[in-house]
Amino acid sequence: MTDNRGSFSRIGFILAAAGSAVGLGNLWKFPYTVGENGGGLFVLVYLISIVVIALPVLMAEVTLGRHTGKNPVGAFGAIRPGTPWKWVGYLGVASGFMILSFYAVIAGTTLGYFLKAITGQFSGITTEGAAAMYTGFVQNPLLQIIVLAVFILLTVYVVARGVSGGIEKFSKILMPMLFGILLLLLVRSLTLNGAAAGIEFYLKPDFKAFKPSIIIAAMGQAFFSLSLGMGTMITYGSYVPKKENVPVSAGWIAFFDTFIAIVAGFIIFPAIFSQGMDPAAGSGVMFNVLPVLFDKMPLGAVVGPLFFLLLSIAALTSTISILEVPVAFAIDEKGWDRKKAAYIIGGIAMVFGIPSALGQGAVGFFTNLPLFHMSFLDLWVEIWGNLSLSIGALFIAIFVGWSWKTKNAIAEMKEGAGDLKFAGLWAFMLKYVSPVLILAILLSSIL
């Protein structure tokens, strides 16, 4: 490894990987996806997907990364040189690029809401007022492009400074703070009038409402939330020291990420129902619901800005991990210097983000796309945030399970983990359960 690549300290990996996993996927995407997919049943399928499909893939990605010490393209190439496997890596680099382009728009909106909160714009706000505020913000083209640019610049700035210097430091204090704020919101939300209806929607599975689309949405959400299927965890794994216990770290990361998402649901759904809103209203739900909640809580004027600030930072630790994939690729494979890679790739992602910035809400450019009946941003979330990650995860599972072979992966995992009691179970899940389920779910959704 050259200095240009860098590496994590012991605790650094858990922090950085949890920082990558916890972000808008938990607080913005999870609640509206639950809402659009009927509530409790989706939550149940989601939890099963995390344990049965995503966790084995998470361990595979980190192990592959640590073993090869490379970006996704390089990792496949290192183990099976001269084969088409490297295209799985290229798909990951492309997905990273595209995810960054829309993710930074939502992250920018979060930052914008921080400014609204701190300037007191939530005070006395009604449900209708919050809706109007959201529409006004996302349908202001200039503002959206500005927040996109600001967020990409922040991301580029950190990535340019390198992995250990930039990324680790951010996660250490801020994650526990975010968690503390979430607990405050939880208490307020659960004690709202009408909270019970929200909890029921969130927790009670309605098996009669089952549709195959629920499963594909849950699986895609599991990959997105754990940052899987595009090589983020391969790349982060490449900075992991040999003394790190990979399976235990992976378990903690999955647990922590899932816990935050579940807590987010307990905040959002009582609030939605107590405000008489539609849980299936789509990707603006979080921004519509929370301002009213803050206005209704003691110290809301402090908690509100703090929440949006911390969420912006959580989003930043995710965008950093997304940009890191193409940047590590450019450093390893193209010999670019880190700074140059970060600025150039970030700059292009920003340009690619413009259609997403202009395509949100119900009216405006790139909204209500004819064939798809959704906005450009929502379409991009579907294609790059769900579908391409599922395809990537499928190939990663097949690669590690069948081409590299689980016994080699287990040998790598044992460094730092010692004797692995569950190695056999993991191998079985990765070779048979995850890929078969992913394939079956993808095929059933196409048919």
Binding site residues, ligand PHE, CB under 6 A: 20-21, 23-26, 99, 224-225, 227, 230, 232, 318, 321-322
Between 25 and 162, CB nearer to ligand PHE = 25
Between 133 and 316, CB nearer to ligand PHE = 316
- Residue least distant from ligand PHE (Cβ): 25
Cβ at position 167, least distance to ligand PHE in Å: 12
Cβ at position 191, least distance to ligand PHE in Å: 28
Between 64 and 297, CB nearer to ligand PHE = 64
SS3 category, 374? strand
Does the CA dihedral 296-188-288-291 come out positive or negative? positive
Between 21 and 438, CB nearer to ligand PHE = 21
Cβ at position 324, least distance to ligand PHE in Å: 9
37 and 217 in contact (C-beta within 8 Å)? yes
Rounded Cα distance, 165 and 338, in Å: 13
Between 47 and 410, CB nearer to ligand PHE = 47
CA distances from 313 to 110, 260, 299, 306 (A): 10, 15, 21, 11
**Residue 203, burial from CB neighbour count under 10 angstroms (0-12, 13-18, 19+):** middle
Cβ at position 190, least distance to ligand PHE in Å: 24
Cβ at position 9, least distance to ligand PHE in Å: 21
Rounded Cα distance, 16 and 330, in Å: 21
Q: Which residues contact 202 (CB under 8 A, 6 or more apart)?
A: 34, 39, 40, 43, 265, 266, 269
CB atoms inside a 10 Å sphere around CB 199: 17
Cβ at position 27, least distance to ligand PHE in Å: 8
- What single string gives the DSSP state of each residue in 35-64? HHTTSHHHHHHHHHHIIIIIHHHHHHHHHH
DSSP 390: H
Between 99 and 131, CB nearer to ligand PHE = 99
Cβ at position 142, least distance to ligand PHE in Å: 26
Between 318 and 367, CB nearer to ligand PHE = 318
Cβ at position 251, least distance to ligand PHE in Å: 17
Between 170 and 273, CB nearer to ligand PHE = 170
Q: Phi-psi category of 36—alpha, beta or left, where left has phi over 0 and alpha has psi -120 to 50?
A: alpha
* Among the listed residues 338, 346, 437, 438, the one whose alpha carbon sits nearest the alpha carbon of residue 388: 438
